[in-house]
Amino acid sequence: MPSASASRKSQEKPREIMDAAEDYAKERYGISSMIQSQEKPDRVLALVKDLTVQKADEVVWVRARVHTSRAKGKQCFLVLRQQQFNVQALVAVGDHASRQMVKFAANINKESIVDVEGVVRKANQKIGSCTQQDVELHVQKIYVISLAEPRLPLQLDDAVRPEVEGEETSTSQAIFRLQSGICYLFRETLINKSFVEIQTPKIISAASEGGANVFTVSYFKNNAYLAQSPQLYKQMCICADFEKVFCIGPVFRAEDSNTHRHLTEFVGLDIEMAFNYHYHEVLEEIADTLVQIFKGLQERFQTEIQTVNKQFPCEPFKFLEPTLRLEYCEALAMLREAGVEMGDEEDLSTPNEKLLGRLVKEKYDTDFYILDKYPLAVRPFYTMPDPRNPKQSNSYDMFMRGEEILSGAQRIHDPQLLTERALHHGIDLEKIKAYIDSFRFGAPPHAGGGIGLERVTMLFLGLHNVRQTSMFPRDPKRLTP
Amino acid sequence: MPSASASRKSQEKPREIMDAAEDYAKERYGISSMIQSQEKPDRVLALVKDLTVQKADEVVWVRARVHTSRAKGKQCFLVLRQQQFNVQALVAVGDHASRQMVKFAANINKESIVDVEGVVRKANQKIGSCTQQDVELHVQKIYVISLAEPRLPLQLDDAVRPEVEGEETSTSQAIFRLQSGICYLFRETLINKSFVEIQTPKIISAASEGGANVFTVSYFKNNAYLAQSPQLYKQMCICADFEKVFCIGPVFRAEDSNTHRHLTEFVGLDIEMAFNYHYHEVLEEIADTLVQIFKGLQERFQTEIQTVNKQFPCEPFKFLEPTLRLEYCEALAMLREAGVEMGDEEDLSTPNEKLLGRLVKEKYDTDFYILDKYPLAVRPFYTMPDPRNPKQSNSYDMFMRGEEILSGAQRIHDPQLLTERALHHGIDLEKIKAYIDSFRFGAPPHAGGGIGLERVTMLFLGLHNVRQTSMFPRDPKRLTP
């Protein structure tokens, strides 16, 4: 199907070359006709990552992007890239390639996709600039499958298509492959623990948590809102006896926060679970799920971790089994010992969270821990008070490298106590009537929490901005692409 | 922790009983104090589904809902329900239970959650009304853990909490457990095929497909829109060399359609994949993914399928391997032979789709097939024309029981042809500039499609309304709960 004569109008430069007369190699290169599924050839395409000395002297076909090209006399060196792997290819004047063919190869716009037939040859010396260091490909045929225009898009997202010259392309590939792994490990672990995946609606009729920071949607002739959390729906599923549920989906926050860790739309990994006697049953399931994710990533995604580390060096992520659980008052004591002045019922500021992360790392050598028993005063109205201490609550946050990645609690499952707590918080009961009514028909005791996917990815890899771990980040100033 | 003396103010009826004097069983029943995670007892709770003759004469603790209760002289029969399983329990005046305790048990509001200690006894005869037909539980202690109010919620969704007396609770449980299985099998299959899961944004700056049927969102001081499809983002990932991607997430359609199969928010299972030579490479991967889902459901979810069938009888879902692929012109011939009058470039109406489904079932004995090569005229502008026949296109739909569940195509990856086709469709090029520009930098040939999760669940189970397979359905008239 690739054919030297099938040039297309828009691609003037290669055509000019191909028009040259007396070219003994003219069938061996050119612009392929557009792949419109005309044929089903049985040609097998090799993967760049499989080009090793085991394949020495074999003839292979490869489809890859032209990462770089460099003409040098009668030769042209190309680096061919396929995802995070690349290999050096050589087009040299000789039996297979003519002078015109070398010139054609040298003039292919970078990032164009080419089909290359070549012989795998053991390299005389290690090729340091490529992932396939021990071989090079001696090109016999080269056809352009998809021609790139000779410049880079300006409006495409830098996370997806950054500077081509650097390592960013491989880094982005690695980050998002690892992120896919987090989602997979999260589900795999929970399905093995007999959780049921649920789908919760994103368009809702009333603002879920009091109405602040919520996006409004025009819904036919009325207004609706975007869900800030799937919590109500997770809890309804618990009330409907699903016992253990999780969901993965977008969460919307209309907060005008322009920080390294806030997005207006992020992916929530949410868990809710009925328990028998103590919310620590849930706490332990969640912590174990995160530990399984960390382990799975370190076992199955070392290539990706190392690729990211090359551009963004970072210490490996450390965690303990079982997970370290500190009570809020213990954390306060550690902070006070380090000179921080804080009240017993005061929430942690971001700098104090980070400082605490460092103190915990020094003392316990872990990047992951649970902070349990937050002051009741700093948690939402539906948080179960601690029966042993009215100023505390059965609630917790989890931290990675000193930053919060999960917030959760035992929820109040008794409608009377829920009503009392809502009134205490000055919440209009009318607005949360449906929520309170959910618990009037025998609700099991339950707890849960929500994890931010982009934060987990960022902190596991030791990155510093959540925009690096969102393919298409949304913040108050950014809605494209 | 359960304690007869710990009654709560709001629960007057049981308290009255407990106030009765001279009750030798008074420590053996009552309203438990609210579970606030006071203690961590090491009591093990048995599962209702595990109560079989193997456990005969064992003493077990069970936490379950009171499904029904029926007092009969000195005895009270309870049916205790746990998700889709239930068991008969007997409280009878004797050594363990007093007259007051039997009365207490008989008066517990249905749907209340109770902790019961009892002896598992082999039943004298099969208990036809319960899933655990061979045993009954002889109750020694009974405590209410969470008391239901004595009526049913009106505003809770019928899919989640329908009439308690019927089989609907078990049916809903089974439907949504099976739906969770569809999501799991979809991912498992694709991860095994080296696909990468991606997360695409739902808030977008421009209406993706021309602007019709799109919900508008207030985004800080501007307007934004809810994504009608992740297609642009899937395609950008293909352009960024992710090769094979999938995503699962909400899809929003502001269509004022009030049918059995339309929702304004549904869950899309989306696939996009680069291919080498022919879009059938992708078609086959998608069809195989669906086949793996069907097989996995039939292997792992027989209990759920049978539970649903009890209330909604239906033939088992049939499919072929490899999947039947018909071309549009073949389907037209079948329809015409059946008396339908249709033009060559006319789209299928819903009744004709259904009729075709019946004809295909008769002829090929399959409930699942692919319809390939749709007329170019009835497909979106980005659909790749068929190079062999300018009136056809490289596009396809997939059907289950005669209803469409997936629509897909080879996409045009060449910006020049894409521009021509957009102009042909009268589309304003300015509005799709970012989309077209995505393909200027060397796009691999690719194809994909989007599957509606609720439809797959509905049609696999032979149900007749997509609202039965959405926990919290959204349509033009329904936004709650």
Model confidence pLDDT, tens digit, residues A372-427: 999 999 999 999 999 999 999 999 999 999 999 999 999 999 999 999 999 999 98
Residues of chain B found within 8 Å of residue A200, distances taken between Cβ atoms: 471-472
The answer to whether the Cα torsion of A411, A417, A418, A424 is positive or negative is: negative
Contact assignment for A34 to B414 by CB distance below 8 Å: yes
B358 vs chain A: nearest CA distance in angstroms?
Answer: 31
Which residues of chain A does B216 touch, with a Cβ-Cβ cutoff of 8 Å? 217-218
pLDDT at A151: 64
Asked if B242's CB is within 8 angstroms of A176's CB, the reply is: yes
User: Which among B145, B197, B417 has the least Cβ separation from residue A183?
Assistant: B197
pLDDT of residue A480: 83
**Residues in A touching B160 (Cβ below 8 Å):** 236-237, 240
Give the CB-side neighbour count of residue B250, counting CA atoms within 13 A.
30
Q: Using a CB-CB distance cutoff of 8 angstroms, which residues of chain B are in contact with residue A251?
A: none
Contact B199 A236 (CB under 8 A): no
* Model confidence band, residue B10 (pLDDT cutoffs 50, 70, 90): very low
Is B455 a catalytic site residue?
yes
- Token digits for B83? 């998700």
Q: Which residue of A has its CA nearest to B453?
A: A199
> Closest partner residue to A155 among B201, B437, B442, by Cβ?
B437
Å from B109 to nearest chain A CA? 9
Look at residues A352, A304, A310, A307 and name the one whose alpha carbon lies nearest to residue A331.
Answer: A352
Chain B residues touching residue A471 (CB < 8 angstroms)? 198-200, 233, 237
A334 CB neighbour count, 10 Å cutoff: 16
ipTM of model over 0.85: yes
For helices B302-311 and B280-300, what crossing angle results, to 10°?
A: 80
| Residue from A199, A246, A269, A419 to probe the interface with B (highest B Cβ count within 10 Å) | A199
Pick out chain A residues at pLDDT < 50. 1-13, 15-16, 153-166
Q: Which of residues 345-404 of B touch A (CB under 8 A)?
A: 384-388, 394
User: How far does the CA of residue A112 sit from the closest CA of chain B (Å)?
Assistant: 5
Higher-pLDDT residue of B327 and B434 is: B327
Q: Which of A113, A233, A267 sits opposite B472 (nearest CB)?
A: A233
Please give the pLDDT value at position B432: 86
Nearest residue of B to residue A283 by CA position?
B37
Q: Distance between CA B448 and CA B277 in Å, rounded?
A: 14
d(CA B265, CA B226): 10
Contact A239 B161 (CB under 8 A): yes
B187 in A contact zone (CB under 8 Å): yes
Binding-face residues of B in 409-438 toward A, CB within 8 A: 410, 413-414, 416-417, 434, 437-438
DSSP B424: H
Average pLDDT of the residues of chain B: 91
**Nearest-Cα residue of chain B relative to residue A454:** B199
Question: In this predicted model, what pLDDT tens digit does every residue of A140-166 receive, in sequence order?
Answer: 999 999 999 986 544 444 444 444 444
φ, ψ at B406 (rounded to 5°): -145, 140
> Cβ–Cβ of B205/A34 closer than 8 Å?
no
DSSP state of A480: -
Helix, strand, coil: what percent of chain A each, to 5? 30, 30, 40
Of the candidates B255, B281, B330, B403, the residue annotated as catalytic is B255
Contact A279 B37 (CB under 8 A): yes
B230 to chain A, minimum CA–CA distance in Å?
Answer: 12
User: From its phi and psi, is residue B83 left (phi > 0), alpha (psi between -120 and 50) or beta?
Assistant: left
Q: Could you tell me the two tokens for A394? A: 């059965």
Tell me the backbone φ, ψ of residue A121, rounded to 5 degrees. Answer: -120, 140
Whether residues B197 and A217 touch (CB distance < 8 A) is answered with no
Q: Given this model, what pLDDT does residue B334 score?
A: 98
Sign (positive/negative) of CA torsion B326, B332, B337, B340? positive
The residues of A annotated with a catalytic role in the active site are 253, 255, 261-262, 404, 407, 455
Rounded Cα distance between A276 and B212, Å, is: 50
For testing contact with chain A, the best of B35, B193, B382 (most A CBs within 10 A) = B35
Is residue B243 over pLDDT 60? Answer: yes
| B387·A252 Cβ contact <8 A | no
Q: Is the pTM of this model over 0.80?
A: yes
A36 and B161 within 8 Å at the Cβ level: the answer is no
Contact A173 B242 (CB under 8 A): yes
Asked if residues A184 and A164 have their Cβ atoms less than 8 Å apart, the reply is no
**Is residue B407 annotated as a catalytic residue, yes or no?**
yes
pLDDT > 70 fraction of chain B, expressed in percent and rounded: 91
Whether B65 and A241 lie within 8 Å, measured CB to CB: yes
Return the residue of B nearest to A443 by Cα.
B146
Residue A358 has a pLDDT of 98
Which of B111, B215, B388 is facing A219, going by the closest CB pair?
B215
Q: Which residues of A touch B413 (CB under 8 A)?
A: 34-35, 146
A63 touching B (Cβ < 8 Å):
yes
Other beta carbons within 10 angstroms of residue A221's beta carbon come to 6
Long-range CB pairs of A278-282 (<8 Å, 24+ gap) are A278/B37, A278/B39, A278/B40, A279/A384, A279/A394, A279/A409, A279/A410, A279/A445, A279/A447, A279/B37, A280/B37, A280/B40, A282/A408, A282/A410, A282/A446, A282/A447, A282/A448
Number of A/B CB contacts below 8 angstroms equals: 307
Q: A54 CA to chain B: closest CA distance, Å?
A: 23
Task: Give B271 to chain A, closest Cα distance, Å.
Answer: 14
pLDDT above 80 (res B137):
yes
* CA dist., res. B160 & res. B180, Å (int): 15
At residue A158, the pLDDT reads 46
Interface of A with B in 303-342 (CB under 8 A): none
Q: Yes or no: say if A368 and A398 are a contact pair by the CB < 8 Å rule.
A: yes
What region, left, alpha or beta, does residue A418 occupy, with left being phi > 0 and alpha being psi -120 to 50 degrees?
alpha
Query: A43: alpha, beta or left, given left = phi > 0 and alpha = psi -120 to 50?
Result: beta
CB contact under 8 A, A278 and B242: no
- B431 pLDDT band (50/70/90 cuts)? confident
Question: In angstroms, rounded to a whole number, what is the distance separating the alpha carbons of residues A49 and A85?
Answer: 6
Query: Among partner residues B161, B277, B388, which is closest to A40 by beta-carbon distance?
Result: B277
